[in-house]
Amino acid sequence: MDPRGLETLRAVGTQGGVTAAAAVLHVTPSAVSQQVALLQREVGVPLTERVGRGVRLTSAGEALAAAAVDVAVALERARAACDEFVARPQGVVRVSAFQSGAQLLLPALLTRVASIDGITLECTDEDVAQDDFVALTDRMDVVVAHRPDDGAGWAAQGVLVVPLLREPLDLAVPLDHPLADRAEVRPEDLRGLSWIAVREGFPVAGVLGALGAQSGAAPRILHRVNDFHVVEALVAAGHGVSLLPRYTFGGGAHVRLVPLAGVRAGRRIDALLRRDRAERLVVRRVLDELRALAAEIDVA
């Protein structure tokens, strides 16, 4: 079997269709369809089926796509075995992170990797709903993702999950707010407040929902804004309170972050990688630097 055909079939499954698979593979949808058709003729069973105007993998297609992961891992492991004998492995490593995670981690990561000869780091910020982070691993070598404290992880979705750190979420209030001088607040203190929240499906929204359940009253949400810098400006101007990550925004001069007591309010930050890409020596080196950086932040 042609490994390219297996990779194409795998992308159709992870990306949810031919057009999306073509985008991550940098080929035309027609080329994707041809690759899948060739593979289907070789194995002799249907690998895709029509669903409305799109396609999805059949049970046989899903089984072959799962086996394709092992093939890709074996190929990358073979390349890595050769790289072990190269004095200075070289390559490009692509890293994406959700916006506030990028602010927290990427500047120092770029500085660290700049001192390593042979590795070029290409970074981008991509904040997506929690369920969509895994799909980014088809385009990126390392995806920095976040989830609520008690939220389900991504291991069941076939990617390598590397825990990086836990970042507490604090109540953000204006400097002149009645709660601004408190050492901590409890869920019952939050009743009646007007909130600025992120959109549903994003991790911090789940934490706010849990806070509401603990306080006994659903939070009154006036605005939904995903950019924490905009949230910070709205809070500072007195347009509501919010939850902001402590390490990323704790040093701000415009709002007061008050720790929450009586409830676990935080987010878990993980690195997600495809198992085959995790075999590359240059990717492993970048991941080592990312883990070391996160460990320094987590104990600060």
Residue pLDDT, tens place only, 270-285: 999 998 899 898 999 9
CATH class assigned to 167-265 = alpha beta
Question: In whole angstroms, what is the distance from residue 192 CA to residue 29 CA?
Answer: 52
Structural contact between residues 129 and 201, judged by C-beta atoms closer than 8 angstroms:
yes
- Label residue 26 by pLDDT band (50, 70, 90): confident
Residue 35 has pLDDT above 80, yes or no: yes
Structural contact between residues 144 and 150, judged by C-beta atoms closer than 8 angstroms:
no
Lowest mean per-residue pLDDT among 50-59, 110-119, 184-193, 269-278: 50-59
Domain residue limits, the chain: 3-83, 91-165+268-298, 167-265
pLDDT digit string, tens, across residues 155-214: 667 799 999 999 999 999 999 999 999 999 998 899 889 999 998 888 788 888 888 888
Per-position b or e across 211-245, b if 16+ CB within 10 A of its CB = bbebbeeebebeeebbebeebbebbbeeebbbbbb
CATH class assigned to 3-83 = mainly alpha
Q: What is the rounded end-to-end Cα distance, in angstroms, of the chain? A: 51
Q: Quick check: do 3-83 and 91-165+268-298 share a fold? A: no
Structural contact between residues 248 and 104, judged by C-beta atoms closer than 8 angstroms:
yes
What CATH number is given for 91-165+268-298 in this structure? 3.40.190.10
Average pLDDT, the chain: 87
- Label residue 105 by pLDDT band (50, 70, 90): very high
pLDDT of residue 124: 96
